[in-house]
Amino acid sequence: MDFSYDARTLELRERLLAFMDEYVHPAEAVLEEQLADPAREHWDIPPVVAELQAHARRLGLWNLFLPGEGGAGLTNLQYAPLAEITGRSPHLAPAALNCAAPDTGNMELLAQFADADQRKQWLEPLLNAEIRSAFAMTEPEVASSDASNIATRIERDGDEYVVNGRKWYITGAMNPACKIFIVMGKTDPAAEPHRQQSMILVPRDTPGVTVRRGMRVFGYDDADHGGHAEITFEDVRVPAGNLIGEEGSGFAIAQARLGPGRIHHCMRAIGIAERALELMCRRTLERVAFGRPLAEQGVVQDWIAESRVRIEQARLLVLKTAWLMDTVGNRGAHTEIQAIKIATPLTVEWILDKAVQAYGAAGVSQDTPLAQLWAGNRTLRLADGPDEVHKRSLARRELKRHREVGR
């Protein structure tokens, strides 16, 4: 057992930290300005992102998330600490490195399951950040954490598939540069529960696709990274070759997509927590009430200590999960992948809440990043299925183990 980062990770961390200091953090104020510009097209990605991407690419900090040839070839365990660092500036750093969700998951999915034509048409421009993509799974009408509820239909009609359905909270899809949607739907509602679904590529400009509105997250529309769209698909026809993998493989592909995404989300969330703790420390060192800095109040010290203790535990669990995925695969890491989904957002939420409280009114305002980070993190407790579903599943596996031992 060894808790030190390997040489490649250390080298990349150093390079990335320098990039953060030199380019990303200074760009945060620029982003604010560009977002506030009344002349801007609301859903366009602000131009500062492309500038950062050019620097990152030049510095070899590009597609670090992608394990195979097209990417940096890092293991999950090597990439995880880098994802954490990008979490310290989550509205800029992931996009700057072409490592932002949902494109990362989509690129992995295409690299793993798409055929050569599909990869050429969509993966290559994504790896070059020429276009953006979206992953259309969640539906407003049903509890889509239970995949058997999915109502969108994908029906074969000659050389084409016809897609009908309504999706929402499709992250990134308000951005007009988001050119391709990976849509989950049912090709065979009569099949066994986990063979009913398929995934299909639907270009944005296909007739019948309507991007209806941007969904909000606690008042935020997240226009800086393409928002969260409600989209309807009405008799949308795409060539049969747009199906990813074979009919009925949608559920399996979705599962495969989840593992690395969890690591990324959780490590970024830990980066957010570190940023929040840092802000909390700085604020309370400076702010004076009742004759002394807030940092000298016992309750504030309690928050700071708890934050540190919780962050350390959460980070180790995510790193171990990454290591398990690298060594025994997604299946072997199943419990841990669920565990980090349950534990990390709650930990980060707790810390953000205390940081907000330390800032008072500024904490809920647009003048600190805390409230928006809180809102984004809050959604992790229900994205990909609410925590309660994952706990139920984890508990059943634990019980099964004891039931078997008990025999």
User: Of residues 138-167, which lie at the interface with a copy of itself (CB under 8 A)?
Assistant: 138, 140, 143, 145-146, 149
- Stretch binding a copy of itself (CB under 8 A), from 22-30, 103-111, 172-180, 214-222: 214-222
Specify the pairing of strand 209-214 against strand 228-239.
Answer: antiparallel
Smallest CA-to-CA distance from 373 within 277, 293, 264 is with 277
Among 110, 304, 333, 348, binds a copy of itself (CB under 8 A): 304
CB of 128 to a copy of itself, least distance (A): 31
Residue at 120: amino acid letter: K
User: Of residues 248-277, which lie at the interface with a copy of itself (CB under 8 A)?
Assistant: 277
- Stretch binding a copy of itself (CB under 8 A), from 179-187, 233-241, 249-257, 320-328: 320-328
Among 251, 298, 329, 355, binds a copy of itself (CB under 8 A): 298
Contacts of 352 (CB under 8 A, 6+ apart): 272, 273, 276, 370, 373, 374, 377
Instruction: Please report which helix (H) or strand (E) contains residue 225, including its range.
Output: none
| Residue 14 binds to a copy of itself (criterion: CB under 8 A) | no
Four-CA torsion 161, 170, 384, 89, nearest 10 degrees: 140
Residue 217 CA to residue 94 CA, distance in Å, equals 20
Contacts of 205 (CB under 8 A, 6+ apart): 179
Strand, coil or helix: what is 270?
Answer: helix
| Residue 300 binds to a copy of itself (criterion: CB under 8 A) | yes
Closer by beta carbon to a copy of itself, 50 or else 299:
299
Among 113, 168, 181, 251, binds a copy of itself (CB under 8 A): 168
Among 288, 329, 331, 332, binds a copy of itself (CB under 8 A): 288
Closer by beta carbon to a copy of itself, 264 or else 315:
315
| Residue 289 binds to a copy of itself (criterion: CB under 8 A) | yes
Closer by beta carbon to a copy of itself, 198 or else 338:
338
Q: With contacts defined by CB under 8 A, how many residues of the chain interact with a copy of itself?
A: 97
* Tokens standing for residue 101: 């969700």
* Tokens standing for residue 281: 């420390």
Closer by beta carbon to a copy of itself, 182 or else 356:
356
Instruction: Please report which helix (H) or strand (E) contains residue 43, including its range.
Output: none
Going 203 to 209 to 214 to 215, the CA torsion angle's sign is: negative
Number of CB atoms found within 10 A of residue 40's CB: 13
| Residue 2 binds to a copy of itself (criterion: CB under 8 A) | yes
Among 336, 337, 348, 377, binds a copy of itself (CB under 8 A): 336
Smallest CA-to-CA distance from 226 within 367, 143, 129 is with 129
User: Of residues 351-370, which lie at the interface with a copy of itself (CB under 8 A)?
Assistant: 356-357, 360-366
| Residue 57 binds to a copy of itself (criterion: CB under 8 A) | no
Among 59, 210, 335, 350, binds a copy of itself (CB under 8 A): 335
